[in-house]
Amino acid sequence: MSGPSGDKIIYVDMTNQTAEVKDFPEEWKLLGGRALSAKILTADCDPKCDPLGPDNVLVMAPGVLSGTAAPTSGRISIGAKSPLTGGIKEANTGGQPGQHLMKLGYRAIVVKGAPSDAEARYAVEINEDGVSVTSADAHKGKWNYTLCQDLHGQYPKTASFITCGPAGEARLSGASVATTDQDNRFPARHAARGGLGAVMGSKGLKYVMVDPGRASVRQPSDRKKFGELCKTYTKDYLDGPQMFKTGTSSVVPVANMLHTFPYKNRVEGQSPDAQTLDGARIVESFETRGGEMHNCMTGCIVKCSNVVHDAQGEYKTSALEFETLTLLGANCAVASWEDVADMDRLCDEVGLDTIETGAAIAVLMDAGQLEWGDAEAMKKLIAEIPELTDRGKAIGNGAVATGKFTGHHRVPHAKGQAIPAWDPRPLKATGVTYCTSPMGADHTAGLIVNPGLQPDQFAWESQKVQIVNAVCDSSGFCQFLQPNLDNIRDFYGALYGEEFSREAIHDQGWECLADEWAFNDAAGFGASDDVMAECLSKDPINGQVFDVPADIVAAARQRMPAQDDLFEAKASG
């Protein structure tokens, strides 16, 4: 299969529980993942709709290169109007479903409507024979690991899954969408941010099964050039520094040094427990407990995922990421990575964003309603969220909801979404991204770890990395592979057998952002929403507050001429 020739889009109508397959438009051939999701949402979704109502549209779109032999290229984007921010949202994840959908020639699943019976559950089944919508009532309320274990016995071993945990079924705004890993068993990869699991739950969609059967890898137009690119890029990466060789959790010491390892709801930027939360402790445990670094999807050469075992040598979770260690660990004054591993597993089970959940619990603690560092109480709280207690619902709906529940003033967020680990006070250009990104506070939208930048550099550095990351999340490449725009356009050129200019690849990234901003503008957002939570502008860490002038923030949304460094900048998240 060359390029989009013969490719299709699946349209699922949850009101009538039907599925229709349509041809993929030729003019969209360079659109995948985030950019394709944005294009579909701007065309088919009313920006003013209720995010949990039938008029919202849920998009599941693999990247352009997913399903090919390009290294670490099988990621999938989940998109919709966010119940957390009220604007457009895309959350990007690994696992196998993106690879499997593209091998079958499906560029996206577009889910519309909602069943008349809010208690009914359904599944979408996709294989070489076609697409169908079936009852999933037997799986209602199941936690993600139990669900996938049961599905693994129900379907062929080659099948992968996209699942909705009980938090999503309950329409909680912190709910994630889970995907299964390379072994097609563990739902440990999550499109976590923005509450997209709640959108999936509102549509009565418990899971999507994708079985590629014997479908082969997608073939490029220029096989020789594509093969050479794969070989060269893989060698260059493996011969390089491999920043994530021991996982993102290895970033803890650097973040702590930079005062962006927040402690006690961000009143400080360093944790006294950095040593016991350091991902190096996880790697050290491999020798006695087992566990390893592995790849979450076929063809991954980064292998950043740590498989974490308990003291008895039994599997607990994967991957225990830096963001999770930060928000559920340091930010809540939890001292042990092992306690964070327990909570990571619980969040994966229930289907919750660990960033939003950790931020929400920290607000609860800061309000005096839970003791700092009480990991056992935190575990009980996360486990009770599906029971929909008042406190559980507040946490499940995120940090802003928890602030309203407690009446507490210190709620670090941008556009209603909790600030991730990377703090905007020492990293002000990243703060500009949080303010101006259509996604709200999301480090994967454009992270800049450079505390030495000057104010006149903030807007360009933010815009540059937002463009690069938008293209990366559209390509199917993982941000941890750190491709630049030239790398991506080279792969696109070999895939389609034609050359794509620097101008064309820059335009693609900008168009993605423009589509998303247009959606948000139509939803009612304005310049007054491109701001940081007041507490981050008043409460200092290491003597710094977020004090970037409004005109510099606004400049990041004004298209600037593409400079050479744009094409050399690496994706980062």
pLDDT (tens digit, 9 = 90+) per residue, 497-544? 999 999 999 999 999 999 999 999 999 999 899 999 999 999 999 999
C-alpha to C-alpha distance for 116 and 15, rounded to whole angstroms? 7
Other CB atoms closer than 10 Å to residue 376's CB: what's the count?
9
| Region of 252 on the Ramachandran plot (φ > 0 left; ψ -120 to 50 alpha; else beta) | alpha
Nearest in space to 118 (alpha carbons), one of 60, 54, 162, 69? 54
Read off the tokens for 108. Answer: 């996206």
C-alpha to C-alpha distance for 353 and 121, rounded to whole angstroms? 22
Res 5: pLDDT: 65
C-alpha to C-alpha distance for 167 and 187, rounded to whole angstroms? 14
Res 93: pLDDT: 97
Please report which confidence band the pLDDT of residue 4 belongs to, taking 50, 70 and 90 as the band edges: low
Q: Across all residues in the chain, what is the average pLDDT?
A: 96
Domains and CATH numbers, the chain: 8-210 (3.60.9.10), 244-415 (1.10.569.10), 428-568 (1.10.599.10)
Please report which confidence band the pLDDT of residue 245 belongs to, taking 50, 70 and 90 as the band edges: confident
Q: In this predicted structure, which of 185-189, 213-217, 277-281 has the lowest mean pLDDT?
A: 185-189
Return the percentage of the chain with pLDDT > 70, whole number.
99
Residue 150 pLDDT > 50: yes
Mean pLDDT over residues 327-342, rounded? 98
Convert 395-414 to b/e letters by CB count within 10 Å (16 or more is b). Answer: bbbbbbbbbebbebebbbbb
Nearest in space to 14 (alpha carbons), one of 108, 141, 106, 134? 134
pLDDT (tens digit, 9 = 90+) per residue, 405-455? 999 999 999 999 999 999 999 999 999 999 999 999 999 999 999 999 999
Residue 2 pLDDT > 50: no
pLDDT (tens digit, 9 = 90+) per residue, 121-137? 999 999 999 999 999 99
Give 213-267 as a 3 state SS string: CCCCCCCCCCHHHHHHHHHHHHHHHHHCCCCCCCCHHHHHHHHHHCCCCCECCCC
C-alpha to C-alpha distance for 546 and 537, rounded to whole angstroms? 5
Query: Do 424 and 546 contact (CB within 8 A), yes or no?
Result: yes
Read off the tokens for 148. Answer: 């996938």
Mean pLDDT over residues 26-55, rounded? 97
Mean pLDDT over residues 60-82, rounded? 98
Return the percentage of the chain with pLDDT > 90, whole number.
96
Mean pLDDT over residues 342-370, rounded? 98
Res 1: pLDDT: 37
Residue 3 pLDDT > 60: no
Query: Do 208 and 123 contact (CB within 8 A), yes or no?
Result: yes
pLDDT (tens digit, 9 = 90+) per residue, 539-562? 999 999 999 999 999 999 999 999
Mean pLDDT over residues 209-233, rounded? 97
DSSP 296: S
| Region of 317 on the Ramachandran plot (φ > 0 left; ψ -120 to 50 alpha; else beta) | beta
Continuous segment of H or E residues that includes residue 553:
helix 550-555
Residue 395 pLDDT > 60: yes
Q: What are phi and psi of 207, to 5 degrees?
A: -160, 160
